[in-house]
């Protein structure tokens, strides 16, 4: 009998040890197992959103990625898979301009597959409709709220908001490293960094950060991101070219007279257009501003619906258009005609601040207050005067670049963009020619050495896809195709 009891006790001890071992294996697997498998349980895949009738006809995922664990900096993203071939089509990290404009602005108003039904809106909650000419027809797109403080991105400590342009580029590399590790099925897709407006600075800064890490990783045998190139639309690049380009643009478009044009050209040096150094130049620019102040700078042919909302600080056609950020402020609702794009911008506030929408998107309680389509990032530091050297560095290392302008944009004109491209000194390898969409001229393009393509988008403003979506979709699809030509 004692022998039987001892045998039973031995079996119990053995079973307890086995259970303990199994428990330990589970803990180890959770802690050190496949990141993709662990992340799969955390992915917020969304099939329905408030305002859209029925299930979404595309794959949408949202989430946060921590890019600074010291200050708890969390960048929020919307990921939409390509509707064509997700495992083969390009992967684009898209950064809206500003700095401080939400990724939803790019998703709803530029290149995404959802739009507000502005024409049909009367009151209440806005309706969303499917948009056929989205870039997600032919590419996987990560719409990212960046820099931190933009959209739904946040930092748990206030110091985390104190970032620079180059610091944000470093954080976006961290974002992509972690995101790709959690989505290994997209590691081999061709990767492009894209953006518009102010992101004309952030895109090449981020691309160079990735390129440098790739080189360092290659030397040490580490992993590489499959970066193929980058694209910038209506891009801010260098005030010494962007701002002076406005005068010949306005003259060529018939907005100012020969006399006003000549007075500015004679009196102002290249650096005078931001801060005039002499009275004659200041007077010439004042005269130009006086006659163009009611022109819509984002598209010179469209109504300027924000006339009542001008920045009391005295913004002019030659300064940054901070005044435009006021146009969609809900505190300044106006009875605007349907053709005013501001109406759509305002609907985005109603949608984004809705409690059900936030729950669907997975927005963390208390992370931010009221959402803003475009916000002023008071802690953000612009520490790069010119990104022209970044373009030179990247293209000479073999990365492809597409630079394009809406040809009716006064904010960042095609004149200014072509001026800084010329300073790169690249020979033309394919002369200026029209490019086509739906058998019509969609703009003009030229190609330079080192895989640099430049294009205009005919009739487009700031930014080009918002005004000419079909043409811009064709432009993207052709440029990212094996032929790589518009």
On the question of pLDDT at 274 being above 90, the answer is no
Q: Which of 9-13, 287-291, 391-395 has the lowest mean pLDDT?
A: 9-13
| Whole-structure pTM value | 0.88
pLDDT score recorded for residue 41: 43
Catalytic sites, residue numbers:
197, 409, 462
386: exposed, middle or buried (C-beta count within 10 Å: 0-12, 13-18, 19+)?
middle
pLDDT band at 290 (very low <50, low <70, confident <90, very high): very high
- Express each pLDDT in 111-127 by its tens digit: 999 999 998 998 999 99
pLDDT band at 34 (very low <50, low <70, confident <90, very high): very low
Helices then strands, each counted (H, E), the chain: 15, 14
pLDDT score recorded for residue 43: 82
pLDDT score recorded for residue 218: 64
On the question of pLDDT at 135 being above 60, the answer is yes
Q: Encode 101-156 in three state secondary structure.
A: ECHHHHHHHHHCCEEECCCCCCCCCCCEEECCCCHHHCCEEEEECCCCCCCCCEEC
Q: What is the mean pLDDT of residues 136-163?
A: 97
pLDDT band at 343 (very low <50, low <70, confident <90, very high): confident
Higher-pLDDT residue of 315, 181: 181
State the average pLDDT for the chain. 88
- Express each pLDDT in 151-175 by its tens digit: 999 999 999 999 999 999 999 999 9
Pair of tokens at residue 187: 């590691």
């Amino acid at each position: 009998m004692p022998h039987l009891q001892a045998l039973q006790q031995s079996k119990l001890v053995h079973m307890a040890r086995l259970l303990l071992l199994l428990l330990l294996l589970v803990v180890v697997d959770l802690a050190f197992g496949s990141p993709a498998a662990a992340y799969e349980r955390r992915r917020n895949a969304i099939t329905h959103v408030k305002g859209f009738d029925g299930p979404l006809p595309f794959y949408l995922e949202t989430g946060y990625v921590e890019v600074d664990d010291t200050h708890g900096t969390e960048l929020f993203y919307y990921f939409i898979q390509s509707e064509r071939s997700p495992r083969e089509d390009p992967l684009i990290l898209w950064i809206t301009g500003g700095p401080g404009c939400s990724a939803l602005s790019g998703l709803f108003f530029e290149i995404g597959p959802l739009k507000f039904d502005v024409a049909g809106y009367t009151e209440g909650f806005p309706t969303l409709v499917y948009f056929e000419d989205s870039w997600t027809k032919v590419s996987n797109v990560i719409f990212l709220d960046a820099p931190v403080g933009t959209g739904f991105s946040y930092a748990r400590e206030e110091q985390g908001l104190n970032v620079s342009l180059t610091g944000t580029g470093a954080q976006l590399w961290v974002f992509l490293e972690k995101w790709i590790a959690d989505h290994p099925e997209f590691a081999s897709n061709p990767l492009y960094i894209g953006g518009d407006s102010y992101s004309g600075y952030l895109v090449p800064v981020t691309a160079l950060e990735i390129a440098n890490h790739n080189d360092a990783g290659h030397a040490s045998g580490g992993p590489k991101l499959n970066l193929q190139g980058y694209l910038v639309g209506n891009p801010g690049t260098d005030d010494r070219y962007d701002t002076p380009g406005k005068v010949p643009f306005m003259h060529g478009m018939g907005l100012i007279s020969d006399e006003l044009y000549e007075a500015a050209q004679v009196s102002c040096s290249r650096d005078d257009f931001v801060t005039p150094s002499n009275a004659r130049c200041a007077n010439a620019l004042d005269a130009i501003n006086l006659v163009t102040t009611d022109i819509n700078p984002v598209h010179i042919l469209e109504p300027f619906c924000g006339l009542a909302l001008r920045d009391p600080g005295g913004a002019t056609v030659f300064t940054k258009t901070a005044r435009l950020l006021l146009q969609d402020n809900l505190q300044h609702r106006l009875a605007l005609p349907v053709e005013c794009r501001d109406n759509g911008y305002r609907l985005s506030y109603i949608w984004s601040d809705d409690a059900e929408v936030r729950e669907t998107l997975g927005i963390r309680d208390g992370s931010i207050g009221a959402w803003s389509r475009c916000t002023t990032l008071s802690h953000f530091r612009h520490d790069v005067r010119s990104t022209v050297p970044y373009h030179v560095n990247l293209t000479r290392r073999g990365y492809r670049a597409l630079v394009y302008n809406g040809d009716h944009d006064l904010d960042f004109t095609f004149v200014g963009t072509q001026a800084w491209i010329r300073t790169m000194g690249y020979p033309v390898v394919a002369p200026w020619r029209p490019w086509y969409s739906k058998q019509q001229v969609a703009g003009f393009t030229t190609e330079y050495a080192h895989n640099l393509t430049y294009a205009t988008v005919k009739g487009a403003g700031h930014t080009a896809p918002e005004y000419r979506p079909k043409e811009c979709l064709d432009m993207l699809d052709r440029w990212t195709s094996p032929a790589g030509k518009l």
